[in-house]
Amino acid sequence: MGKAIGLREDFDGAALRRLSRMTRSANQARRLLALAEIYDGGSRSAAARIGGVGLQIVRD
């Protein structure tokens, strides 16, 4: 099994949500909102649901 990748420390959930409002791409906005959920301590399941992807994609 691979090693987990750490989250960047120069972003937080609020910053990612602001970026998601600025983008014109719906796919990018969903990915940013999913990451914001993880940064805020949410579950991977919730992030997958927000991002519109499967749980395995979030784990990868």
How would you classify residue 41: left for phi > 0, otherwise alpha for psi between -120 and 50, otherwise beta? left
What is the per-residue pLDDT for 29? 94
Residue 39 within any structural domain of the chain = yes
How many Å apart are CA 39 and CA 42, to the nearest integer? Answer: 7
What is the per-residue pLDDT for 22? 96
Question: Is the confidence at residue 5, as pLDDT, over 80?
Answer: no
Residue 28 within any structural domain of the chain = yes
What is the per-residue pLDDT for 56? 84
**Using one digit for the tens of pLDDT, what is the confidence trace for 7-60?**
878 889 999 999 999 999 999 999 899 999 999 999 989 999 998 888 888 877
* Domains: count for the chain: 1
- Threshold 0.75, pTM exceeds: yes
Which range marks the domain in which residue 52 is found?
13-57
- Residue 24 burial (10 A CB sphere; 0-12, 13-18, 19+): exposed
